[in-house]
Amino acid sequence: MCYIPKLLMIFRLLLGPVIIYLAYKIEETNKLYIVILMYLGLLSDILDGIIARKLGVATEKLRRMDSLIDLIFWISIGISSWIISPKIIENHLILILVLILLEGLCYIISFIRFKKETSTHAYSSKLWGITLLLVFTSIIGFNYGGFFFYLTVIVGLISYIDILLILFLLPKWEHDVPSFFHAYLIRKNIPFKRHSWFH
């Protein structure tokens, strides 16, 4: 049973190249397959964390691996969106680059402070994951950015601000920090309960 979280993570990792391959084919049915695989990937992301915690195998190594695979998964979907609907991506390139730069900044700060990549799995990141799912569904499935794109950018900016504050507040590296407020509690050695379904 303890190997199930790793299998789910490997499944999500393998989805990346499959999704990009389907996007290159530019067939209408492939768009549906990509959207289905994207939802399966998100489901695997939710389940691997829950199962790992229930089995008591949510180690630092596993959570760091989960963060890296999440990044690869979403980048793969982003590339697929660009292949399928290049004009939407090009029209919003500056905002997309801002989000990419913020992602890089989080990694740089985490490496400078802790010599490790960020793996906060914050609530705001989970909310951003939901908006990413919505906007990629809209772009890939319907060739439309619009409202969901701007919603995703706003939530993404909030998420990165939250993560940056977490990284500055944490006295030492930790994974699964719900928010910058919880990072503050950790800094002050104030105990708090972590919800088993979300961390």
How far is residue 149 from each of residues 38, 92, 130, measured CA to CA in Å? 17, 9, 12
pLDDT mean over 174-178:
91
| pLDDT computed for residue 125 by the predictor | 94
Report the Cα 103 to chain-centroid distance in Å: 10
pLDDT of 55: 85
Structure tokens at 59: 């180690």
pTM, whole model, 2 decimals?
A: 0.89
The per-residue pLDDT for 97 is 96
Q: What is the pLDDT of residue 190?
A: 93
Q: Indicate the domain borders of the chain.
A: 4-187
pLDDT band at 33 (very low <50, low <70, confident <90, very high): very high
**57 — pLDDT class (breaks 50, 70, 90):** confident
Exposed/middle/buried for residue 6 (C-beta within 10 Å: 0-12, 13-18, 19+):
middle
Report how far Cα 192 is from the mean position of its chain's Cα atoms. 24
Supply the pLDDT for residue 195: 64
| Average pLDDT in the chain | 91
Per-residue pLDDT tens digits for 97-141: 999 999 999 999 999 999 999 999 899 999 999 999 999 999 999
60-72: per-residue pLDDT in tens? 888 889 999 999 9
Query: Which of 24-28, 173-177, 191-195 has the highest average model confidence (pLDDT)?
Result: 173-177
CATH number corresponding to 4-187: 1.20.120
| More confident site: 62 or 161 | 161
The candidate with the shortest Cα–Cα distance to 44, out of 124, 128, 133, 117, is 133
- pLDDT-based confidence at residue 19 (cuts at 50, 70, 90): very high
